[in-house]
Amino acid sequence: MTPPPDLRGIFDRLPGSYLLLAPDAPRFTILAVTDAYIRATLTTREQLIGRGVFEAFPDANPDNPEGTGVSDVRASLDRVATRLVTDEMPVHRYDLETPTGEWEARHWVTCNRPILDADGSLEYILHQIEDVSDRLAEREAAARERREIERLLSESEAARREADAARLQSEAVLASIADAFYLLDREWRFTYVNAAAEPLLQSPRERLLGRTLWEMFPGVIGSPFEGPYREAMATGQVTSAEAYFPPLGTWFDVRSYPWTGGLMVHFRDIGARKAAEAEREQLIAALEAARNRVSFLAAASAALAESLDPEAVLVRVARLAIGTPEAPGLADACVVTLATPEEAREARWRTRIEGLDPAKVALELERQARFPAPAEGPRGFPAVIRTGRSELVTPEMMEEQLRAVARTNEEHLRYLRALDLYTAATAPLVTQGRILGALTLVRHGPMRRGAFDEADLALTEELARRAAVALDNARLYATAETANRAKSDFLAVMSHELRTPLNAIGGYAELLELGIHGPVTEEQRTALGRIQQSQRHLLGLINGVLNYARVEAGVVRYDVAEIPLDELLAGCEALVLPQARSRGLTLSHATNGTPLRARADREKAQQIVLNLLSNAVKFTDRGGRVELRCSADADGRTVRIEVADTGMGIAADQLARVFEPFVQIDATLTRTREGTGLGLAISRDLARGMGGELSARSEVGVGSVFVLELPGVGE
């Protein structure tokens, strides 16, 4: 499994320490890695890509033989792979080997998140790490300092009335604490602010001391911090809060510690951490959106390829775009307009509308009938068709258009308001440089989903491109079918017209041979025989053309039933045997002793076998062999009839052409063997019409084997 190249390129440059893992437990192959991850783990991309995550990062520190970093991460990944839920690990230790060969103790916070495909199956695992070694050390130091603060505060309160010197000494210790904190008395007045707190509070301590919290920071009132402050002061319990504080423009993690004199408030700026979390969520959303777009377009291509009917293609395009009420697609409504730029300028177009709300579809059809779009309008599908440029209509632009309509036509405005139009995206239907029309997607009111953006417009353009190809293919197919029917009709008519005089020639020749017009000499009888032979040959050729025209036109009917093959093959052998003997050939029929049956049209199957045997006899020189064989699969689902000869054989690069109409591989054969080159083409079409197949294998100078496969009657 390899992520798309463009996704991997974006992933590599993302800030933050991430791995993109395959869900191939227990290996969990590394598919992509960010530059930040490489720096954090002292590795290179070449050391990681394609390796299992535990192959790349084993528990290898000899100074820490009891390390559980690998087992902890493995357990987390297993939970993600089996439960398909995000797993955030507590702080754990995993040591890194430096370039000098020394080991550094490191502590990490790890989060493993599943990325699912459209079917809800696990596609990737997003593995994020954060080196919290320094923060952990700082936190432990801060904890020690807080304990020291509490001890000192307690001592300070007890000794406050005894000596100012002791108070000053305590304040000196407080000032040396690295983490930001301040003290509030029971009247909520600042009694102490350390140096680390000043930049975070964006105010010097002199301005804060003696003033109340509510006076200096009125934004705290009603914020997520007010409740925990008051709770800590009232109950004596430690409280915490984590929230964004707009007046200072960042996120804070705030902990309130009650003491006898009021509150000690310890706080940290966690804006950077929150930004990283938001970035991670955006990455996951981008991955999900990209996956959804790829899945949608794949489904669109498959659906559009299912039909060559232009009308069905229009319906599929529209319904793909809107989805269903249970599974909505890109839009609430879709309008497909077919028109060339020239037709658009003359307001000649054909429109197909589909929507999740039938009432709105009916209303839009009524609106278009009463207020047709201006052919030369600067916006909308006429402009897109004329110019070939896509159009994105934002909610603001939509409202502006409504105001413009309001100034000229109140009735039209009522229609538009009732439709609740919110946003739209229109793309031209373009294929091979030709504009076929336009595809317009519409979303109603903002409550269901957001406005279209540039990514949605790009997806609309790609859907329109694929729809245009499907429409063009459908039109080309319809044109080809019309031409094919015309050709078949022509062949059928011409064959019929040619047979009439040929039958007359044959009839008159027979009358002459019978002596109706007087005695016939032996020389005349020989000439009449040649005339009759030529008449029958030409009539056979014409019948072949007529049969091919019928097969190609799809008017051949099949009477499929269970037929005994031994009887059919014996009959074919008997019919061809005189011809084979006259050419000095050996004709054999090999059987396996087990009666075989097939599901086929007896007449059509016999026609195919006779054609194969006749060809084998025709193209095998005197002294050669022709063999007729029959076999079946073990389950009896398929039976095979093979006709093998020892003729001249066919070159591999010419073998496929023998099934094309009017083809004879060797041009000299037209002078030595009779035929139109239609027999094999007709035979293959007949075989396929019965659910079978006709194929061949051959070797020049050795001979050929033609294989007719038919459905058997096995279970």
Give the span between the Cα atoms of 287 and 297, in whole angstroms.
15
Do residues 713 and 594 make contact, with C-beta atoms less than 8 angstroms apart? no
Does residue 209 register a pLDDT over 80? yes
Q: Are 18 and 7 in contact (CB under 8 A)?
A: no
What does the mean pLDDT of the chain come to?
A: 81
Q: What residues does 704 pair with on adjacent strands?
A: 698
Closest CA to 267 of 173, 342, 201: 201
Q: What angle do CA 159, 165, 167 make, to 5 degrees?
A: 55
Which pLDDT score is estimated for 302?
72
What are the tens digits of pLDDT across the range 239-273? 999 999 999 999 999 999 998 889 989 998 988 88
Kindly give the residue spans of alpha helices, DSSP state H, lying in 160-185: 164-175
Structure tokens at 675: 């035929």
Three-state secondary-structure class, residue 578: helix
Cβ neighbours around 202 below 10 Å, total: 10
Q: Tokens 């094309």 map to which residue?
A: 660
For residue 379, the SS3 value is coil
- DSSP designation for 52: B
Which one-letter DSSP state was computed for residue 376?
A: T
Residues 6+ apart with CB under 8 A from 95: 61, 63, 64, 67, 69, 103, 104, 105, 106
**How many angstroms separate the Cα of 172 from the Cα of each of 184, 256, 259, 375?**
18, 22, 19, 82
Beta strands in 210-299 (DSSP E): 239-245, 250-259, 262-269
Is the pTM higher than 0.75? The answer reads no
Flag whether pLDDT at 667 surpasses 50. no
Tell me: pLDDT of 343 over 70. yes
CA distance 164 to 157: 11
- What phi and psi, each to the nearest 5 degrees, are found at residue 240? -145, 155
pLDDT digits (tens, 9 = 90+) for 492-539: 666 666 666 766 676 656 667 777 777 878 887 777 777 766 666 566
Note whether 223 and 245 are within 8 A (CB): yes
Q: Which of 370-384, 434-448, 608-622 has the highest mean pLDDT?
A: 608-622
Q: How far is CA 682 from CA 481, 559, 565, 633, in A?
A: 18, 17, 21, 26
Give the model's pLDDT for residue 218: 93
Rounded Cα–Cα distance for residues 323 and 563 (Å): 48
pLDDT of residue 505: 74
Of 194-208, 284-298, 384-398, 437-451, where does mean pLDDT reach its minimum? 284-298
Alpha-helical runs (H) found in 110-241: 133-159, 164-175, 197-201, 205-208, 213-216, 226-235
Residues 281, 155: Cα–Cα separation, whole Å: 47
Beta-carbon contacts of residue 601 (< 8 Å; ≥ 6 apart): 558, 559, 560, 561, 690
Q: Once rounded to an integer, what is the mean pLDDT over residues 435-459?
A: 82
Give the residues across from 351 on adjacent strands: 337
| 373: pLDDT strictly greater than 90 | no
Inter-residue contact 593 to 678 (CB < 8 Å)? no
Q: What is the pLDDT of residues 672-687, one digit of tens each?
A: 455 556 788 888 889 9
The reported pLDDT for the residue numbered 470 is: 81
Res 669 pLDDT > 50: no
- Per residue in 595-646, pLDDT (tens digit) is 888 999 998 899 899 889 988 998 899 999 999 999 888 888 899 999 999 9
Place of tokens 């499929």: 560
Q: Return the residue matching tokens 């005339």.
A: 531
pLDDT at 162 over 50: yes
Number of helices (H), then strands (E), belonging to the chain: the values are 24, 25
Q: What pLDDT is recorded for position 375?
A: 74
Helices 679-689 & 602-618 angle (0-180, nearest 10): 150
The 8-class DSSP code of residue 490 comes to H
Which pLDDT value is given to residue 497?
Answer: 66
Q: Which residues contact 171 (CB under 8 A, 6 or more apart)?
A: 192
